[in-house]
Amino acid sequence: MNPTIRSFVLRQGRLSDAQRRACETLLPQYGVAFTHNLLDLNQIFGRSAPKILEIGFGMGESTAAIAHSHPENDYLAIEVHTPGVGSLLNQIEKLELTNLRIIQHDAVEVLQHMLPAACLHGVHIFFPDPWPKARHHKRRLIQPALVNRLCEHLMTGGYIHAATDWENYAEQILQVLNQEPRLTNTTADYAPRPEYRPLTKFEQRGLKLGHGVWDLIFAKI
């Protein structure tokens, strides 16, 4: 991926008092600062357990729910937007989660500088910005270069799980993942939604209106 083309635009957004308080008081405890040094993930989480990376967690509802339902795993969640970071920090505190950490930074740079090789059991990319206009497709997160980079950090047997509600983006993701020789599709094309990925409120509304959602799960061979 060309590092000069970002998949996100930093919008100021409205930060609630609760989100601001969380960023000020909880981020030092549950956040991991960006650095150019490789992380020791077992040291960060205080144990040896499967490590799952999530890129772009939005407001964090699914992230918190997954971490709460799967205490056997550790989750490293990346997001650039401050309101979402504050929201997830509040959920971490409310649910008393010990298996979730946050990096507020560009995921591409985190992958380049912070993650060791073959350290991840899985990668979640749920509902990335679809950039629907054709001239903006180059801004879409899931591109061959990113997938190549993710494979460097996945251990053999690890997985990439992407989900989108834009059919055109689903088709592109399927093509990109199919082109990576180190990955194999776990199903024919699109996968049924796994039990561990909860339905968001937005997704439930869309499904009631007849909108589609496409899950793609590929494993590293």
Of 17, 74, 129, 189, which residue is the catalytic one?
A: 129
The pLDDT value recorded for residue 131 is 82
Phi, psi for 169 (deg, rounded to 5): -70, -40
CA dihedral 179, 8, 214, 120 (to 10 degrees): 60
Identify the residue whose tokens are 């407001």: 59
189 noted as active-site residue: no
Residue-wise pLDDT for 88-117, tens only, equals 999 999 999 999 999 999 999 999 999 999
**Domain spans of the chain?**
29-220
Classify burial at 142, counting beta carbons within 10 Å of its beta carbon; exposed 0-12, middle 13-18, buried 19 or more. buried
CATH for 29-220 is: 3.40.50.150
14-63: per-residue pLDDT in tens?
A: 899 999 999 999 999 999 999 999 999 999 999 999 999 999 999 999 99
Q: What is the pLDDT of residues 147-188, one digit of tens each?
A: 999 999 999 999 999 999 999 999 999 999 999 999 999 999
